[in-house]
Amino acid sequence: MTDLYDVVVVGGGAAGLSGALALGRSRRSVLVVDGGAPRNAPSPQVHNLLTNDGVPPAELYARGRAELARYGVEVIDATVATAHRSDAPDGLRFDVTLTDGRRVLARRLLVTTGLVDELPEVAGLAGRWGRDVLHCPYCHGWEVRDQAVGVLASGPTAVHQALLFRQLTDDVVLFTHTGPALTPEQAEQLAARGVRVVEGEVTAVVVTDDRLTGVQLACGAVVSRQALVVAPRVRARADLLAGLGLPAEEFVVAGAVIGDHVPADPQGATTVPGVRVAGNVTNPMATVPVAIAAGMQAGAALNAELVSEETDRAVAARRAATAARSTAEGTDGGGSAEAADDPATPADGPVDAETARHWDALYAERERRWSGRPNARLVEVAEALPAGTALDLGCGEGADAIWLARQGWRVTAVDVSRTALDRAAAEAAAAGVVDRIDFRRHDLARTFPTGSYDLVSAQFLQSMIEFPRAEVLRAAARAVAPGGRLLIVEHGAPPPWSRTIPPHVRFATPQETLATLDLDPDGWHTERLDAPVREVTGPDGQPASLVDHLVLVRRR
């Protein structure tokens, strides 16, 4: 089984977590894949982050993950090996393979993989990075206020850095190192601000008792300093994007190339439809709060994209259903006025009013009656089967039908509750599979869908009101095509939290259900007849073990 997510976020730093939060709060299915190497990992604290100034990076990301969990966002510690576009009939798809071999599908990608700082080759420099070898006055400037600060010139931004740090301390030295020669205007600016210029190449930093104490020049002289400011070359982590047709481009500052990045518009849109970027992978100058804002913007933009796509499909499906019904009515002499207003759930036969009211009232009690996840036993069985045609009896809010459609099945999904069918049709449209599911209203005690199917699924067709279970299950068997299967899953015992099922109620065993079907042994093969147990969490958070009764038979 390959999971399909609305959005896969590649990178779990500030931008990625922020984008995932915006998407999760919009009820999107989101997977965050994080390789665990944020750019600011060497830094002890994050600054200029309102209400969280001074928070350690690891703590910030842990808090972010905890917040995402509240909205159902999945976060895994892994890295993406490859990603490529794989268009589907219902819209964009991206096939994402992880380095551990796992594979997922995504309707959209948000890439927030950040960058790598390539430091000047000065002995001892890398070991002090993020501590007393710094680059950003807004990230670390306050912490070195009034100290002796050096600025290492290796690119075009050195004078700018020196002037910014001069705001924080009176003692700033610019080491010309390998940087471009100062212009007369720059030399005048530095002199006016009292910034001393030291010529010559720097070969090492001097460390005493785990603290930077000086900068050593090629001539052997040591200039006493407590912090050193550098301008690293920035390299975008963009190998994944290159595979999608988005190679990194040069990042230019003050007319000089200081690294690369992936260009995008202010909402993170790239030239590849469905792929957005945020954070340092596109904006190397972004600090943590800027990356957070960019991630939120990109996440919101992706949600808007998906809403637009889903609305277009829902409108197209509604028009197609209306046209099909109009054609059918012109052929058979007409239909009910009630069905004419509802293309998703046509009334295919007579419905008992009391039965319909019972089930509609049950669904109306809550905005969502069930979890929205497919039944575990159906997934367990169907994921091993080739996709074909399926009949979902008692489809409810559509989770099973939608899952089957995502695996490539053509599904006929039936229920007696119009409320359930309306919800199922809306969920299918949102999932982009409405064109693979035919939702139909049937009171199975009165009518049964026509046709034959490769898989007939009867999941928990157990009712507290009168229901001809045996007759319906026999009809389900008759609907199985040659070589197809009938899967029946039922409760083996009442859930411990149930208030409506008396504890003494006895459910039919798998063997009894099989006998009820009255199958010709020469025409059928029994593949499973068992009572598996699954661990679940009850509505109040209590753990419990539930017994399922499972019958799986194949028509020869």
Q: In this predicted model, which residue has the larger pLDDT, 320 or 403?
A: 403
Phi and psi (nearest 5°) for 500? Answer: -105, -20
Q: Are 281 and 238 in contact (CB under 8 A)?
A: yes
Confidence at residue 322, expressed as pLDDT on a 0 to 100 scale:
65
pLDDT, tens digit, for every residue of 500-523?
565 566 789 999 999 999 999 999
- How many other C-beta atoms are found inside a 10 Å radius of the C-beta of residue 26? 18
Q: Are 113 and 237 in contact (CB under 8 A)?
A: yes
What are the residues facing 229 on neighbouring strands?
Answer: 134, 151
* CA torsion, ordered 314, 317, 321, 327, to nearest 10 deg: 140
State both tokens at 342: 């509802």
Q: Give the 3-state secondary structure of residue 56.
A: coil
Q: Where are the beta strands (DSSP E) in 320-477?
A: 389-393, 410-415, 437-441, 453-459
Question: What region, left, alpha or beta, does residue 51 occupy, with left being phi > 0 and alpha being psi -120 to 50 degrees?
Answer: left
Kindly tell me the burial class for residue 60, based on how many C-beta atoms sit within 10 Å of its own C-beta (0-12, 13-18, 19 or more).
buried
Give the highest mean pLDDT range of 7-16, 253-262, 418-427: 7-16
Give yes or no for residue 271 having a pLDDT over 70. Answer: yes
Give yes or no for residue 244 having a pLDDT over 50. Answer: yes
Reported as a pLDDT band with limits 50, 70 and 90, residue 352 is confident
Confidence at residue 338, expressed as pLDDT on a 0 to 100 scale:
40
Reported as a pLDDT band with limits 50, 70 and 90, residue 179 is very high
73/25 Cα distance (integer angstroms): 9
Q: Are 96 and 6 in contact (CB under 8 A)?
A: no
- Residue 253's nearest CA partner among 135, 166, 127, 142 is 135
Average the pLDDT over each of 293-302, 307-316, 487-496 and give the range with the smallest value. Answer: 307-316
pLDDT, tens digit, for every residue of 43-97?
999 999 999 999 999 999 999 999 999 999 999 999 999 999 876 655 678 999 9
Q: Of all helices (H) and strands (E), which one includes residue 402?
A: helix 399-406
State both tokens at 59: 């703590």
Measured CA distances, 415 to 424, 428, 477 (Å): 10, 15, 18
Confidence at residue 538, expressed as pLDDT on a 0 to 100 scale:
65
Sign of CA dihedral 56, 61, 62, 68: positive
- How many other C-beta atoms are found inside a 10 Å radius of the C-beta of residue 132? 21
User: CA geometry: angle at 447 spanning 442 and 452, to 5°?
Assistant: 90
Q: Are 178 and 261 in contact (CB under 8 A)?
A: no
State both tokens at 10: 């590649």
Map out the domains of the chain with their CATH numbers: 3-115+234-308 (3.50.50.60), 120-231 (3.50.50.60), 335-555 (3.40.50.150)
152/229 Cα distance (integer angstroms): 6
Q: In this predicted model, which residue has the larger pLDDT, 368 or 446?
A: 446
Alpha carbons within 13 angstroms on the beta-carbon side of residue 264 total 32
**Span 399-419, mean pLDDT?**
94
State both tokens at 15: 């931008």
Q: Are 459 and 401 in contact (CB under 8 A)?
A: no
204/499 Cα distance (integer angstroms): 75
State both tokens at 306: 């998906």
Reported as a pLDDT band with limits 50, 70 and 90, residue 264 is very high
Measured CA distances, 35 to 112, 328, 542 (Å): 11, 55, 33
Confidence at residue 361, expressed as pLDDT on a 0 to 100 scale:
83
Confidence at residue 514, expressed as pLDDT on a 0 to 100 scale:
96
- Residue 101's nearest CA partner among 121, 123, 78, 120 is 78
- How many other C-beta atoms are found inside a 10 Å radius of the C-beta of residue 541? 6
Confidence at residue 314, expressed as pLDDT on a 0 to 100 scale:
78
Measured CA distances, 267 to 73, 245, 261, 295, 514 (Å): 21, 19, 16, 9, 58
pLDDT, tens digit, for every residue of 373-384?
899 999 999 999
Kindly tell me the burial class for residue 512, based on how many C-beta atoms sit within 10 Å of its own C-beta (0-12, 13-18, 19 or more).
exposed
Give yes or no for residue 398 having a pLDDT over 90. Answer: yes
Phi and psi (nearest 5°) for 525? Answer: -125, 130
Confidence at residue 340, expressed as pLDDT on a 0 to 100 scale:
36
Give the highest mean pLDDT range of 97-106, 169-178, 312-321: 169-178
**To the nearest whole number, what is the mean pLDDT of the chain?**
89
Sheet holding 222-224, edge to edge: 202-208, 211-217, 222-224
Provide the angle, in degrees to the nearest 10, between the axes of the packed helices 158-166 and 184-192: 10
Reported as a pLDDT band with limits 50, 70 and 90, residue 341 is very low
Confidence at residue 335, expressed as pLDDT on a 0 to 100 scale:
37
Q: Which amino acid is at 16?
A: G
169/165 Cα distance (integer angstroms): 7
Question: What region, left, alpha or beta, does residue 245 occupy, with left being phi > 0 and alpha being psi -120 to 50 degrees?
Answer: left
